[in-house]
Amino acid sequence: MTIRVRRGTRIVRRLATFGVLLALLGLLIPNDSHYPTEFTLIKLETAHGLDATDHVVWILALGSDARPGQPYLGSRSDAIQLVGIDPVTHRGVTIGIPRDSYVNIPGYGQNKINAAMVFGGPELTAQTVANFTGITPDYVFVTSFPGLIRMVGGINGITAKVTFNMNDQGQVFHPGMHKFTGVQALAFARIRHGLPAGDFNRSMDQGQLLKGGLATILGKLGRPGFFERALGLLAQYADTTVNPVDLYRLARTVLEVNPARVKVCVLQGGTGYVGAQSVVFPDVAAARSLAADVRHDAKVDRGCTA
């Protein structure tokens, strides 16, 4: 019993410290420094509060494929992960949406879902995901390629699960737990060639990176200077519309998740062509069934393929 009390006390102290630092960080964001903005957090108008009695918090995590000189908030989304967190049970779920999924984009008709960010930025992507799955995100987090490298490097790498043997342009990964550098994490998140199920396996790998990243951060919370380095990184390269109080509450919600209770899922479907385009035809009924299953508690009872 004594051990549990001490452990709980440490967690509360870490979160309290995090809250103070985030409040200070709120004075620094939006980014008005000389550093380029490489990741953005947006609170959507539909977002609810983050009290412990609230419903599941949904965060749409997007990885932009912007090249140098291109706006990362207006380029195609290379990674699309719908992340649900239950603040009460500290359970989580990641739902990978293959980037080539052929869906209806509001106002633009049928197209690959990754084009939504080109047409209308993160907000339109969130609306597209909501219409497609039936789950409306509360927040959207977008990172660029350099942003992902910087975030992973900023915490000295993350450890995540590799499922298949992979060898792509000199990056080699073997099944098992692997510690990724920032460059390796980006490569791992983008590899699809040579994987048994292509885009579907890539979406699974992206979910594993998110889960592994959370576990890595939680494992380093008590290390001296970790908070300062991580938040200094955000202050330099992040932009957000979220106020300091909500930022703290969101961080608290994320940091209280138990990685062992995070389920990695991927929406399924078939592949084919629309004209000359290779696309994924998602199983919409299965997607909505999974969404209905996890909507209120982030607990997967059926319909999850990983």
Query: Of 164, 165, 159, 191, nearest to 178 (Cα)?
Result: 159
> Which residue did the predictor score with more confidence, 114 or 226?
114
Q: What is the pLDDT of residues 70-99, one digit of tens each?
A: 999 999 999 999 999 999 999 999 999 999
pLDDT at 260 over 50: yes
Q: In what helix (H) or strand (E) does residue 269 lie, and over which residues does it extend? A: strand 269-274
With 50 as the cut, is the pLDDT of residue 2 above it?
Answer: no
Question: What pLDDT digit, counting tens, does each position of 180-225 carry?
Answer: 999 999 999 999 988 999 999 999 999 999 999 999 999 988 888 7
Task: Report pLDDT digits (tens) over 216-249.
Answer: 999 988 888 787 777 777 778 889 888 888 888 8
For residues 119-131, b (16+ Cβ closer than 10 Å) or e, as one string? ebbbbbbbbbbbe
Question: CA 251, CA 234: separation in Å to the nearest integer?
Answer: 13
CA 260 from chain center: how many Å? 17
Which pLDDT does position 229 carry in this prediction? 76
74 and 121 Cβ atoms separated by less than 8 Å = yes
End-to-end Cα distance, the chain: 37
Is the predicted pLDDT of residue 143 greater than 70, yes or no? yes
Indicate the SS3 state at residue 247. Answer: helix
Closest CA to 141 of 222, 47, 19: 47
pLDDT(26) > 50: no
Q: List strand residue ranges (DSSP E) for 31-146, in order.
A: 39-43, 57-64, 77-86, 91-96, 102-105, 109-112, 139-143
% of the chain at pLDDT higher than 90: 67
Distances (CA, A) of 8 to 12, 14, 92: 6, 10, 20
Cis previous bond, 36, omega within 30: no
**What H or E segment, with its residue span, contains residue 171?**
strand 171-173
